[in-house]
């Protein structure tokens, strides 16, 4: 079958990183990040446009400098369970930390969402780079990189084992024979590993898609390797076309090296399209958005997230970039290391680093509908992505993309004209995982 594009929607609410001024927009309700009706409307609009998934990000630490959406937002699985009852086809992907959760509880919660939605759940596995999170869970120190990623791999393995607790025909529910459960089809896990000891079994059967779809956002070496081992969907950093090509090829190569089919891992890049009636108007609006959000104090605080929510305001802005390398190991190590290296090579001040990180960068997905569709097609055919995780500032901008760009993509045969399946796996073209206790593998649903 020919490759087709996948689209996901990532709601902003009142504005996350890089959208500090969004909450001031009169079109944005000031309570949208905690308004379930807002998420239901967006999910239904995305489903009407045949999107693959609604994607909800999360973190479990804040301070007063964090973006507006982070300060006051709903817990992802609770949110998605509510959305599930108002939608039928769109996938529901929630972010949850493998560092600050237990496998049994999280496996049960995602399996519950999978049943509530009829097989549309996905789990975005994160290891949490906000170092302050540790203190919300009774720990004095945040775990280091190696430990966090080792724990993440084992966590996913345990969750998948728990999701296989019941074989698909474990419940005959035969009234005549008085048999509800076939006990031979129930399996304890009895896992004992480096990070977890979990007996099982899970008290919930498999859903129509077998198991929730595993997503991951791997950037570092450890992250890319984890993604290649366990991910079925990836949220990739994007960047230039050449950078996206390198990342795409690297992940597909690593996936094959682990004996997996590279087609069974779908790479989504972030996209924040700005669509207008003409290219010129769209570019003008893109610059206006940057100016609306470009607040130096907020940008300085955002820089601190990569270094464990470090407060850079205590330093002289015009002095050389401070020595904070020791803070990066337990935070966002890859990005932080790149910043430190650039500051060293270019002899940059703290002010220059903060400005460089937040300087205006043109997005490739900006222009009239035909222009945006042309760019998406070019990137898709250049093997930079399997899908785009789309973020729109307002509901009106989502509607404009859906009405203007999606029909062009459909006309060119790049995007579906109807859903292929009722499950997230089916729409992504992913196989249903065979239950480890069942001999015959299952086929992907049509």
The Cα–Cα gap between 396 and 151 comes to 41
Residues in the chain: 446
Put residue 408 in one of left, alpha, beta given phi > 0 → left and psi -120 to 50 → alpha.
alpha
364: left (phi over 0), alpha (psi -120 to 50) or beta: alpha
**H or E segment to which residue 30 belongs:** none
Answer yes or no: are the C-beta atoms of 362 and 242 closer than 8 Å: no
How far is 54 from 8, CA to CA, in rounded Å? 6
CA distance 323 to 294: 26
114 annotated as belonging to a binding site for a ligand = no
Q: Which tokens sit at 251?
A: 């992940």
- Residue 146, sorted as left (phi over 0), alpha (psi -120 to 50) or beta, turns out to be alpha
> Tell me, what DSSP letter sits at residue 191?
E
CB 367, CB 282: distance < 8 Å: yes
Q: Is 58 annotated as a binding residue?
A: yes
Per the CB < 8 A criterion, the answer to whether 124 and 234 are in contact is: no
Residue 53: which H helix or E strand, with range? strand 53-56
Structure tokens at 389: 């995780």
Q: What is the DSSP letter of 263?
A: G
Is residue 95 annotated as involved in ligand binding? yes
Residue entry with tokens 């280091």: 144
Q: How far apart are CA 217 and CA 267, in angstroms?
A: 10
Half-sphere exposure of 184 (CA within 13 A, CB side): 3
Phi, psi dihedrals of residue 142, rounded to the nearest 5°: -75, 140
The alpha-helical segments, DSSP class H, found in 118-220 are 145-163
Residue 140's Cα: distance from chain center in Å? 28
Question: What residues are designated binding site for FMN?
Answer: 58, 95, 149, 220
Q: Binding site: which residues?
A: 58, 95, 149, 220
């Amino acid at each position: 079958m020919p490759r087709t594009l996948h689209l996901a929607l990532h709601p902003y609410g009142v504005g996350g990183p890089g959208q500090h001024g969004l909450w001031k927009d009169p079109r944005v309700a000031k309570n949208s990040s905690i308004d379930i009706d807002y998420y239901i409307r967006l999910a239904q609009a995305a489903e009407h446009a045949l999107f693959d998934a609604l994607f909800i990000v999360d973190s479990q630490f804040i301070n007063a400098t964090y973006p507006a959406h982070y300060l006051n937002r709903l817990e992802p699985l609770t949110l998605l369970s509510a959305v599930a009852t108002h939608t039928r086809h769109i996938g529901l992907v929630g972010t949850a930390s493998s560092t600050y959760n237990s496998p049994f509880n999280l496996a049960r919660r995602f399996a519950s969402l999978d049943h509530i939605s009829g097989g549309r759940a996905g789990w975005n596995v994160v290891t949490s780079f906000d170092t302050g999170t540790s203190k919300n869970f009774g720990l004095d120190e945040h775990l280091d990189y190696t430990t966090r990623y080792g724990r993440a791999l084992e966590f996913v393995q345990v969750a998948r084992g728990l999701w296989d607790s019941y074989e698909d025909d474990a419940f005959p529910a035969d009234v005549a024979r008085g048999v509800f459960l076939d006990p031979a089809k129930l399996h304890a896990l009895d896992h004992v590993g480096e990070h977890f000891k979990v007996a099982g079994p899970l008290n919930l059967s498999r859903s129509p898609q077998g198991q929730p779809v595993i997503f991951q956002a791997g950037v570092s070496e450890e992250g890319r390797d984890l993604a290649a081992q366990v991910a079925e969907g990836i949220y990739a950093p994007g960047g230039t076309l050449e950078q996206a090509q390198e990342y795409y090829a690297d992940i597909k190569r690593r996936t094959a090296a682990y004996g997996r089919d590279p087609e069974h891992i779908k790479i989504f890049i972030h996209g924040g399209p700005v669509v207008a009636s003409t290219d010129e108007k769209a570019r003008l609006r893109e610059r206006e958005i940057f100016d609306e959000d470009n607040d130096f104090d907020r940008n300085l605080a955002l820089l601190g997230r990569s270094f464990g929510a470090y407060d850079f305001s205590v330093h002289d802005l015009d002095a050389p970039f401070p020595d904070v390398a020791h803070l990066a190991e337990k935070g966002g190590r890859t990005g932080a290391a790149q910043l430190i290296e650039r500051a060293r090579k270019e002899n940059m001040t703290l002010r220059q680093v903060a400005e460089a990180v937040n300087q205006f960068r043109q997005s490739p997905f900006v222009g009239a509908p035909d222009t945006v569709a042309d760019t998406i097609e070019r990137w898709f055919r250049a093997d930079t992505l399997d899908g785009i995780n789309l973020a729109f500032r307002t509901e009106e901008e989502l509607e404009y993309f859906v009405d203007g760009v999606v029909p062009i993509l459909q006309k060119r045969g790049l995007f579906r004209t109807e859903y292929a399946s009722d499950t997230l796996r089916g729409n992504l073209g992913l196989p249903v995982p065979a239950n480890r206790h069942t001999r015959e593998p299952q086929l992907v649903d049509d």
